[in-house]
Structure 1
Amino acid sequence: MTDFAAVDIIRAKRDGQVLSDAQIDWVVDAYTRGVVADEQMSALAMAILLRGMTPAEIARWTAAMIASGERLDLSSVTRPTADKHSTGGVGDKITLPLTPLVAACGAAVPQLSGRGLGHTGGTLDKLESIAGWQATISNEAFKRQLDEVGAVICAAGEGLAPADRKLYALRDVTGTVEAIPLIASSIMSKKIAEGTGALVLDVKVGSGAFMKDLATARELASTMVRLGQDSGVNTIALLTDMSTPLGRAVGNAVEVAESVEVLAGGGPADVVELTLALAREMLAAAGVDADPAKVLESGAAMDTWRRMIRAQGGDPSAALPVARENEVVRATRDGVVTAVDAYGIGVAAWRLGAGRARKEDPVSFGAGVLLKVKPGDRVTAGDVLFELRTDEPARIPAARDVATDAVIVGDAAPALTPLVLDRIA
């Protein structure tokens, strides 16, 4: 591999030039090996954020991230493989019911998930509230579970796109998280390296999402779909609303409980709707002919959930953690709920202990917010709007303030937004 000077590559991108394949290959590899310093990669990341990248540059950057580690070979898995990735939201527990549902329909779901940071929850944190459940499994156990159960939700192995792990941490502290080329390559390098045959992207839009507006979300979704298709992964994206939290539970154990309700044939209508919409897309992309609504109704997805949890050391029958303290907040007037702001509710759950400010922080499994209302609901003074749960009562006032501001009671019913805003293939 040709050697370059990192500062020349930084200057080139700073001045709006297109980086060559050789420059990209070298800088990603050299940064992974520690030859390029953090401050140099920080400068390059900022230049990329400000100057952007061409589709060819993004594709090559993604390929270089994949090449920094191993690629899983799932060719031995007997079922067609399909995965889902969400860009993160509030109350977004969809992976939990979706993974066993799609597996029960006949596909294999290799779901590599992450932890929460800030106001958005992490799938692994939620599942770790189940007694005994393990997030980390070997590649061999991963493939075996895919064959035997059809569903795995676990942490990505250390060998998968190590360049991304290093760069992600750097972007988080240098104000460059928002760069679409870097978001797209971060997500897609891991998903392509995991070896799935089909991928459905759930790109969230709204106050509780990373992408606040439809145009930016559409640009990110289109970039990721193109990267997937060009790498031989059948990729489609749904743009979905995240102005209001999904479901009524926001936290860790409370979201697991709500997911189990969905698998049992109940649960909030919006969680069921999005689970089925994504399941249909995943099954179609994998070439599996099945009706997920009928499979959900049959109880087969619940059976697969139990097998999946047990396969990773968890007890699906164990009682979930419950926070020691709780407080309800009531409506102060008659009216109609005009908004439940996803960002505010996410921050409230974080302040109660359900989330973390830094990657190394612990989370409280029982903490969170239980919403009793949705936009459009009529309330009278004294009705409960939401319940706060925490292990530390000192956390309640700050959480109460932000959650109270997030739930608005007015006079006129709001115009309701559809859950699925667009589809990109």
Structure 2
Amino acid sequence: MSAFAAVDVIRAKRDGHVLTDAQIDWVVDAYTKGIVADEQMSALAMAILLRGMTSAEIARWTAAMIASGERLDLSSVTRPTADKHSTGGVGDKITLPLTPLVAACGVAVPQLSGRGLGHTGGTLDKLESIAGWQARISNEQFKSQLQDIGAVICAAGEGLAPADRKLYALRDVTGTVEAIPLIASSIMSKKIAEGTGALVLDVKVGTGAFMKDLASAQELARTMVQLGKDSGVTTVALLTDMSTPLGLAVGNANEVAESVEVLAGGGPSDVVELTLALAREMLAAAGVDADPEKVLASGKAMDTWRDMIRAQGGDPDATLPVAAHTEVLRATEDGVVTSIDAYGIGIAAWRLGAGRARKEDPVSFGAGVQLKVRPGDRVRTGDVLLELRADDESRIPAARADAAGAFTFGAAAAAPVPLLLDRIA
């Protein structure tokens, strides 16, 4: 006979009560084991979204998620370790150039990444566009690759925070993704369980992010930073703008191509700026004195990228997938591009096949959007604003409508929004 009934826990949170440690421990464990059904956890997740949680509840919920599985021990890795997590955005390929760059500076980066859902892209989907590359590796390979190369980007093992794996998928289909306690505990349970010594959080703010306003993003950042510190992980958060897509490429293979441009010393200025800003934070948190800008210019980060891709079965020289169909969107008026809405571009890329509606859906590696202009650029009628890329031509018309609605024009450029909005430590 169980000490609790799921409906009592649901009612308690529904009515605004603080859940006890014992209630939290039981409901997370029981859900992981299938004793608490999906519909019951859905109701509890909605109650948490509407009623919130105290900091003590969030800490206990996170601890229960960690306790649902194993914790990695990285003590055999001789370098200091640091990881980065982004809350997700449009064109956010920063993990790809950042991981080998920080590794080339002397810090081991154990980057457990995820897949895209909805309008936000997934790092693993992007890397799987590289021929042969494998997202799943054993814990032994994970540790040896960290030691030998200093960089791993892979899927979390089945044994790492299994409660989060179930709850993450459930939240996406029940309208509870935005619940700050559940976002914070989801991210931090995985990051603490992976065993990293330091963590830098990139909390996105704006139309293309889950956190639409600065105040919500600050609340989430403070919550996660405290969870990290309480668990002995040096944690800092940067709040960064996601009202405009990051870089020019949105999709899978085309974001890999843009990341390689950055590693080769080029790439869009905003992608380079954020990569370097996060690298500096990761190095400082790990206690390593290095200049990532110089290391990037030296080519060492590119060497590490190639080694990292090869170690997981990929061919860094392979031709990336190209979509079967391409159409351009042209300006219908003269003027200055005053804004490009990240959400609209993200939805367009999703409609083209770059993302998924359900976690089991396949993605099209060549599909996506390639921007040809940025806010502040002056255009004339007929100028190309972007390319729409799809393997299924029937997807293009709906994507075109979303993409066209993402642009606004004016007589003069709007005041630029800074990329870095706040820092919380």
Fold-level similarity (TM above 0.5): yes
Alignment match, 1:248: 248
| Distance in 2 between residues matched to 1:134 and 1:391, nearest whole Å | 23
Letter in 2 for 1:83: D
Q: Secondary structure at the match of 1:177?
A: coil
More displaced stretch, 253-262 vs 396-405: 396-405
Alignment match, 1:112: 112
| Distance in 2 between residues matched to 1:292 and 1:187, nearest whole Å | 26
| Distance in 1 between residues matched to 2:280 and 2:21, nearest whole Å | 37
| Distance in 2 between residues matched to 1:174 and 1:120, nearest whole Å | 17
Distance 1:2 1:280, change over 3 A: farther
What is the deviation of 1:388? 0.9
Q: Secondary structure at the match of 2:415?
A: coil
* Native 8 Å contact 2:62 2:186 kept in 1: yes
1:303-342 to structure 2, matched below 5 A, reads 303-342=303-342
1:335-374 to structure 2, matched below 5 A, reads 335-374=335-374
Q: Secondary structure at the match of 2:73?
A: coil
1:5-404 to structure 2, matched below 5 A, reads 5-404=5-404
Letter in 1 for 2:240: T
* Native 8 Å contact 1:252 1:366 kept in 2: yes
| Distance in 2 between residues matched to 1:34 and 1:128, nearest whole Å | 31
* Native 8 Å contact 1:235 1:285 kept in 2: yes
Q: Please report the TM-score for the alignment, with normalisation by the length of structure 2.
A: 0.98
| Distance in 2 between residues matched to 1:278 and 1:73, nearest whole Å | 24
- Structure 1 consecutive aligned stretches of length 4 or more whose deviation exceeds 4 Å: none
Letter in 1 for 2:203: V
Q: Secondary structure at the match of 2:115?
A: coil
Letter in 2 for 1:117: L
Unaligned 5+ residue runs, structure 2? none
What is the deviation of 1:47? 1.6
1:149-206 CA-to-partner distances (Å, cap 9, x unmatched) read 0000000000000011111122222222221111100110000000000000000000
| Distance in 2 between residues matched to 1:38 and 1:128, nearest whole Å | 30
| Distance in 1 between residues matched to 2:8 and 2:74, nearest whole Å | 39
More displaced stretch, 186-195 vs 387-396: 387-396
* Native 8 Å contact 1:2 1:26 kept in 2: no
1:101-135 CA-to-partner distances (Å, cap 9, x unmatched) read 00000000000001111111100010000010000
Q: Secondary structure at the match of 2:339?
A: strand
1:184-235 CA-to-partner distances (Å, cap 9, x unmatched) read 0011000000000000000000000011000001101100000000000000
* Native 8 Å contact 1:69 1:159 kept in 2: yes
| Distance in 1 between residues matched to 2:47 and 2:401, nearest whole Å | 38
More displaced stretch, 186-195 vs 400-409: 400-409
1:303-344 CA-to-partner distances (Å, cap 9, x unmatched) read 000000000000001111111111112212221001111001
| Distance in 1 between residues matched to 2:357 and 2:363, nearest whole Å | 10
Letter in 2 for 1:355: G
Q: How many equivalent pairs are there?
A: 425
Unaligned 5+ residue runs, structure 1? none
More displaced stretch, 172-181 vs 104-113: 172-181
What is the deviation of 1:39? 2.1
* Native 8 Å contact 1:2 1:22 kept in 2: no
Letter in 1 for 2:189: S
More displaced stretch, 293-302 vs 358-367: 358-367
Letter in 2 for 1:111: Q
Q: Secondary structure at the match of 1:4?
A: coil
More displaced stretch, 1-10 vs 335-344: 1-10
What is the deviation of 1:2? 7.7
More displaced stretch, 8-17 vs 235-244: 8-17
1:216-262 CA-to-partner distances (Å, cap 9, x unmatched) read 01101100000000000000000000000000000000000000000
Alignment match, 2:412: 412
Q: Please report the TM-score for the alignment, with normalisation by the length of structure 1.
A: 0.98
* Native 8 Å contact 2:124 2:135 kept in 1: yes
More displaced stretch, 402-411 vs 280-289: 402-411
* Native 8 Å contact 2:169 2:359 kept in 1: no
Letter in 1 for 2:233: V
